[in-house]
Every structure is written in structure tokens, then in C-alpha cells.
Amino acid sequence: MATLQYVEIPLSATRLESSEPSEDIRPAPKIVTNLPHPEKAVGHLTTSTAQPHSPTGTKNASGFNFQQILLSSALPIPTNAPTSPRAPAGKGVPRLLTTRDPLSIPITTVNFRRFVSKMGPYFWFMDRVEEIILWKKGWQYTAVWMAAYAFFCYFPRLILLLPLVILLSIIMVTDPYLKQPESASNDDLSLGVTFPPPPPSQTGEGSVDWLANLQAIQNLMGSFSDANELMLPYLPHLNHSSPYTPIIFTLLLTTLVILIPIINILPLRITCLSLGLFPFFLTHPFTRSTLLPLLFLTLRPHLKRIRTLIMRVVDDDRLEDKHWVTEMQEVELWENERWTPSASGTTSPTEADGTMLLDVGWSKGNLKPGDRKGWTRGRDGWSAVAEDGAGDVSSNLTFSLSPGWLFVETEDWRPDLEGTWIPSVGADDAGWVYTNDTWMEPHSIPLDEWRAASTMTRRRRWTRRIYFDPKAATS
């Protein structure tokens, strides 16, 4: 009796199309569509932003005129510029603080010098607040301030005395006796808590304190710009520049109506205490180093599912009436890349802070001459985008769809973030599935032996919906 021999089929294999000719004598129409945009893919891994290096070191900083450099590079004021660009129209209108003095380089230079020399106490206060919130002085130091906040939550009327307490504290801190080193208590020394003295209220130009203020101003401007860029994508949803503004307004109004009767039920002291101490829990070193990464690893498989559902909800919201009343399907496209070591010769490029750059070295230009193309219609590399097989296409591709089928006009190509085509392996956060030099042995992360041997490839699946138009089928 004959025995059956089973062959193990790779997980990434796909079934070949039939070679028998089709009975349909009508050729499939050629439809031109744009290639996917990998740089706009949702969930694309972004590397950490490199910090700009200082153009001048602190050793030779005194030989430069900071005011002249900053004003000449940041304030290219034209010769015919108005002296009061924001002056209110008409006479008798009171001037505001921003229009008190006319626009002038000498006034800007003088005010900039005064600003830099007098910002030391402000930045000193910011550093002390950061030390308290981020537990940088130890748990005893932060716990004292948490207890003080809890005390004010239990006796909220004492907040009226807070200005007097602040002034008395300043007078006590600046006492000459407390400035002496021998006045430090044994408890403070045992806890390892050191209190840096407050900076002088007036610093000389070019001094160490003056340069420290200039560095703090530089970093503050960068942090403010980063925060502004972080919130900028969400602002169109609030100023009626997005179609989702009415939905957000309805949700906010409904939440407001629900919270109005609940406010009278909530205990105000406990609520303020919980809301005030919760940021300290989030910034605790144990929370940041252990709890948050563990929570992220636990929720990571579900986050990609949530992002995929959100993208599908957004695409469904943009569909027109003709799309809802007809049949819809999906077509797929595959993006292929190969990895080569960086120009420096390192196999694991990293940033200055040690963060690995996962996208460095990956490119479609690294594909071998006999390798698959950068864009293919099959997961195994067949049916490349370039019809003649002589290269890749940078902007458009031609799809052969059956008569009557058209691409949905209101949406674009979407990456398969979950890796649904290979569920037993999955994909990374950007939808990439990593393989060896022969495009086999798929993994959701690149293996170290592949990176060491410089033989590593990856591919990503893109999908786009099509719909059936009866009018186009009969035309």
C-alpha cells in the first residue's frame, strides 16, 4: 500500500495562478493609480530627533557677539519695514504691551541683553520644579511636597495664606546664616540632598551664569516649538477646518451635560488630591522604567488593531453614496526592501542616546539585480510593477481590474499594520515582516544573525479598496 509523503509549505508561500487561458475574451482595462506613500504610513517608526550641535563651544564663546549673531540671523528686517506693524488702526486707540515700543534693532538688542541677564531666577525655579516632579532628589524630597499639597487639599482655605508663606520662605532662604556650609543639618547630609543656591538676579555679559541663561533660553525655545508642532495637527479639529469638528463638538457638549449633575456628587477634596498626586505617580522612576513599558508590551498587540480600526472608520466616513450601495473588495500591493550596513560600517546604527535606528540601511535601491522589484503585486515577488521588468516605477502603477471595478476615489493605499497575511508571525509597528536573504523564515523583528551577516530583507503589504460600478461595466 502506498504511503503519503507530506511536504511542509512555508508560511509566506502563496498559491500560483492558473496558467489556463481565461474564457473572457474582453481584456481587463488598465487603471492607473498612485503608488503608496511609505513616509505617511500610520504607525511608521520614527527615529528620535537628533539634537542640534552648538556652532560654537563654551571655550571660545567669549570671542563672539551673541546679540549680533542672533539678530542678524533671526531678524532679517527689511529696510522699508514699518516701525509699528501691529499698531491699531485709527487715533485714540490705546496701545497694548506688544505695541508699546516701535520695532527697532537697538531696542531689540538692549532688551535681549536685559532679558538674558535677568532670567536666571526663573530657570532656577524651573529646575527645582523639575526635580520635584521627576523625583530627581529622592523620594523623601518629593514626598514632602506631596504631603504639603495633601495638606492644602484638606484645608483649602490655607491657600489664601500661600503668598505670605512664599515671601517668608524667600526671606528665610536668603538669610546669611543659612548660606554657610556648616549650617546644613545632619539629616540633609544623611539623605544626600543638596540645595543649590539661587543664581544672582543680575549676571554680567559673557559670564558663566550669563551663558547658562542663554543655553536655557535656547532649550526653552526648542521645547516650546516642539510642543507647538505636537499640538498643531489637532488644531484643525477645533477651528472648523476638519469635517470632524461637529462630531467633536457634539461629544464635548454631551459630556458637559453629563458632568453637570455629577459635579455636585464628587467630593471636591478627594478629587483635587487624586488629580494632583496622579502626575507624581506617572513620573515615578519605577512607573517610567517598569510599569509603563510592561503596560505597553501588554497592550501592544491591541494598539495595532485599534489603529487599523480607526483608519477604517475614517475611510468609511469619507465614502460616497455610490460606494455604500455596491460591492466592494480589496486589492493588495507589496513593498520590498533589502538591508545593507551603513556607510560607517556599523551593523547596528544608533543615535547619541543609544536608540537603535530601525530604518537606517533599508532601501529599495539595495535590492540585488536578480532580486524581486521594489513594488510587486504578489508576496512571492511575481508580477512586478514595472511591466518590462527593467526597473521600478516611482510615481504611478497600472492595475488590471475586471470590467466595472474601480478604485475608491476617497481613500489611498493603507499599510497592513497587523500582518494579517501571516497571522502566525505578525508584523512590527509599521507593518514590516522581516526575512532572510532568500525571503524565507519570516519574523516580526530582524534577527541578530541576519544583521551580522548583512543578509536581511523585509516586505510590507498595502491594501486598497475597489468597488463595482455597473455603468462602467456596460460602457
Per-residue model confidence as pLDDT tens digits over 266-295: 888 999 999 999 999 999 999 999 999 999
**pLDDT at site 285:** 92
Q: What stretches in the chain show pLDDT beneath 70?
A: 1-32, 39-95, 178-201, 343-359, 381-398, 475
Write the DSSP symbol of residue 158. Answer: G
How far is Cα 422 from Cα 458, in angstroms, rounded to an integer? 13
The pair phi, psi for residue 74, each rounded to 5°, is -100, -15
How far is Cα 312 from Cα 420, in angstroms, rounded to an integer? 15
**pLDDT at site 43:** 45
Predicted confidence (pLDDT) per residue in 384-439, tens digit: 555 443 444 445 566 777 888 889 998 889 999 888 888 888 888 888 999 988 88
How far is Cα 339 from Cα 347, in angstroms, rounded to an integer? 10
To which residue does cell 519605577 refer?
286
**pLDDT at site 18:** 61
Predicted TM-score of the model (pTM): 0.60
How far is Cα 312 from Cα 261, in angstroms, rounded to an integer? 36
Beta-bridge partners for 31: 399
**pLDDT at site 356:** 41
User: Dihedral of the CA atoms 171, 173, 178, 180 (nearest 10)?
Assistant: -120
